[in-house]
Structures are given as structure tokens and as C-alpha cells.
Amino acid sequence: MKQLKTPLLNLKDVHLPMKPADQVPVRAAEYRDAGLTLTAAGTIYFDKDDDADIQSKFDYVKAAGIPVIVAMPTRQVLPRVEKFVKQYDIKLAIHNHGPEDKQFPSPLDVLEAIKNMDHRIGFCIDVGHTMRAGVDPVEAIKKVGPRLYDMHIKDLADGKLKESQVAVGDGVMPVPAIFRALVDIGYKGNVDLEYEINADDPMPGVVKSFAYMRGVIAGMGLK
């Protein structure tokens, strides 16, 4: 991350384990001591309609001092999760997972489910999964507006094929239009690169992705 010149990190529990609980703040502090900013935690799954299970995950995020949960709840558990969102005052950004996801394929499915819920429950739009679900990511950003709390960006050579991921800028993702839409809605959150290919040597593709996105931002006259 220092090589990439970005301090912003959405952590998964594989990097910051939930247990033992007393070690969570200690391990989170190690990231901060290294100069990193922990922007979100997740994806965290809420698939048990059980207070103790949900509370343990909110306790984990609170102990880590992280302001946003990138979440994958079931529709059944959402009302119970809402109770903890209010109690802990932590934003919950529901992540859509594309056509394979029976709960929330696209942000529009999330919107239908949460439209009458506490506004701290919002969206983490994954633009790749959104495109594969047949929804325009730009239009999705505009529709969710102020409840967009996080975003995962990737690029696809084929907008319908999950396995076609490429470095950002090498595919069909309308990245300039996505960034323009984020500016237009006054987005204050983060755009998280989710690069899930070339695991043995990811840095060239990651570097290329960041360079392309920074070029797009510079071309828009933004920092």
C-alpha cells in the first residue's frame, strides 16, 4: 500500500480476525501505526437471525474503531440488524453480489429492501457485480445518492462474465462516468479497488488500475 501511495484500507476479517476479541483493538492499532486508515470492515455476513451473533460483529467493528460495515445480510435478518445500527451508530453498507446472489444481485434490490429503514443502512455498490446483474452502475449510483457509504471498483472485459476481470481501464467499465456520477451526488466515501485476479503477482495490475483511475480523476480537474 505504501508503494501504491494510498493509506486507505477496507479490512476483511482474514486480516483483522474477530477473535480473540481483546486483540482486535491491538491489531487495529498496528495498521494505524503503519500509517494506514481503516475506512471499512467487510464483507461481514449477517446470516443468523440472532442478537448475540449480530452484536458480536458490531462489537468487533466498534473495538477496531471502524466507521462502516460492508455487509451481506439476509432479508430476514435486516430488521434485527437495523436495531444494532441504531444502538451502535455505525453505518451499514450492503454489498450486492451479482446474479448469483439470491438476496441482493444489484443495488436496486438493496434499495427496495431498505427504503423505509434507518438511513445509516445504505449501500456498498460493487460496480462489477452491478453490471453483471444487468444494471448500469452509473444509474445505480445516482439512484442511491446520499446512502452510498462505500464502493468497490473493478473492471470486466465482458460485462456479463465474472471470470473476465481485468485491470481497471482495460475493460468495459465506464470509469470516467462512474467518477463523474460520484462527484455529482457529492460522494464523501471511498472507492475501493477490488482486484481479484493474478494472485501470484497482483502488483502490476493493481499499479495499472490505480494509475488509470488517478489519470481519470486528474483529467476531471480533481485531486
- Tell me: pLDDT of 189 over 80: yes
* Within a domain: 140: yes
Alpha carbons 36 and 65: distance in angstroms, whole number: 13
Buried b (16+ CB within 10 A) or exposed e, 82-97: bebbeebebbbbbbbb
Q: Which domain holds residue 94?
A: 8-219
Does 223 have pLDDT greater than 80? Answer: no
CA torsion sign for 56, 83, 44, 54 is positive
**Percent of the chain beyond pLDDT 70?**
100
* CATH number of the domain enclosing 47: 3.20.20.150
Neighbouring-strand partners of residue 109: none
CA-CA distance, 91 to 42, in Å (whole number)?
A: 12
Q: Tell whether 212 is covered by a domain.
A: yes
Predicted pLDDT of residue 48: 96
pLDDT value of position 12 = 94
The answer to whether residue 1 is domain-embedded is no
How many domains are contained in the chain? 1
Q: What are the grid coordinates assigned to 206, written together?
A: 493493481
Q: For 201, which DSSP code?
A: S
Amino acid at 110: V
pLDDT exceeds cutoff 80 at 27: yes
pLDDT in tens, 106-121: 999 999 999 999 999 9
Q: How far, in Å, CA of 153 to CA of 173, rounded? A: 9
CB 76 within 8 A of CB 46: no
Between CA 25 and CA 38, with CA 190 as vertex, the angle to 5 degrees is 10
Residue-wise pLDDT tens digits, 35-57:
999 999 999 999 999 999 999 99
Distance in angstroms (rounded) separating the CA atoms of residues 61 and 24:
9
Nearest to 63 by CA among 80, 88, 85: 88
Question: What residues contact 40, with CB distance under 8 A and at least 6 apart?
Answer: 10, 11, 66, 67, 68, 69, 70, 93, 124, 149, 150, 190, 192
The answer to whether residue 177 sits within a structural domain is: yes
> Residue 96 gets which letter from DSSP?
P
The answer to whether residue 3 sits within a structural domain is no
In a domain, 2, yes or no: no
Query: Chain-centre distance of CA 47, in angstroms?
Result: 18
For residue 71, the model assigns a pLDDT of 98
Q: Is residue 200 part of a domain?
A: yes
The alpha carbon of residue 89 and the mean position of all alpha carbons in its chain are separated, in whole angstroms, by 18
